[in-house]
Amino acid sequence: MPRNTISINNTISINISLHVHVWQASRSTSDRIQYSAARMREEGAARRREAEAARMRKEVDARRREAESARRREEEAARRRKEEAARRREEKAARMEEEAARRREEEAARRRKEESVRRKEEKAARRREQRRQEIMKTSYYGILGVSKGADQRTIKQEFHKKALMFHPDKHPAASLTEKKEMEEKMKEIIRAYTTLSDPQKRVEYDRELAAKLAALDDSDN
Q: How far is CA 77 from CA 74, 80, 84, 85, 109, in A?
A: 5, 5, 10, 12, 47
Can you tell me the mean pLDDT for 195-208?
95
Q: How far is CA 189 from CA 135, 158, 164, 168, in A?
A: 16, 10, 11, 13
pLDDT at position 1 over 60: no
Domain ranges of the chain: 140-220
- Mean pLDDT computed over every residue of the chain: 85
* CATH class, 140-220 region: mainly alpha
Task: Give the tens place of pLDDT for each residue, 120-159.
Answer: 989 988 888 898 889 888 999 999 999 989 999 999 999 9
Can you tell me the mean pLDDT for 37-51?
84
Q: What percent of the chain has pLDDT over 90?
A: 46
